[in-house]
Amino acid sequence: MKYLKILLALVLLSIETQAQKIEDFTLLSVTDKSTFTLSKSKGKYVALHFLLKTECPYCIRHTSEYFEKANSLQNVIQVFIKPDEEKEIKEWVSKLKSSNSLPIYQDLNAKLADQFKIPNGYQFHGQVVHYPAMILLNENGEVVFRYIGKNNSDRFSFDQLKAKIVELDGLK
């Protein structure tokens, strides 16, 4: 039991030292004209989903899954981000298969992705784009988890996110 407590303390210390404070930012939704401002989300986790530029069936499936299940994680704000032009995002959104919907925010030219140091250089559909990623911020707006996909089908599933939230909540 003593070793378990020591291990837990080390894990907590590791998480605290890894948490990275992020500058405030605002994104505009293309789908409903709402905005997301990080500083207004205090007290909740924020999952930033950096989706691929261009047409990607995995992005559609991934986003649709999150739309369907998002209500089961009330303490997490899901923020879906695409670097495309407004017209391209609207066309893409029309292909989502979900009875629920959440805003899709625009990060034109992937400026926010660059701020979060999401690697660029993924060759996809004849373009060079940022890799798909999910960045999880804690209730204080600090990065507590990063998942960078290796390709367009490598995504952090909703069930994995739910397990990560349970894990982080258990460490408090």
- What's the pLDDT at 122? 80
> How many Cα atoms occupy the beta-carbon half-sphere of 24 within 13 Å?
6
Global pTM reads: 0.84
- What's the pLDDT at 49? 96
Please state the three-class secondary structure of the chain as a single string. Answer: CHHHHHHHHHHHHHHHHHCEECCCCEEEECCCCCEEEHHHHCCCEEEEEECCCCCCHHHHHHHHHHHHHHHHCCCEEEEEEECCCHHHHHHHHCCCCCCCCCCEEECHHHHHHHHCCCCEEEEECCEEEECCEEEEECCCCEEEEEEECCCCCCCCCHHHHHHHHHHHHHCC
Residues 21-170: name the CATH superfamily. Glutaredoxin (3.40.30.10)
Would you kindly state where each structural domain of the chain is located, as residue ranges? 21-170
- What's the pLDDT at 73? 94
Per-residue pLDDT of the chain (172 residues; tens, 9 = 90+): 544 443 333 344 344 435 667 889 999 999 998 999 999 998 999 999 999 876 778 888 889 999 999 999 999 999 999 998 999 999 988 888 887 889 999 998 899 999 999 998 888 777 778 889 999 999 999 999 999 999 888 999 999 999 999 999 887 6
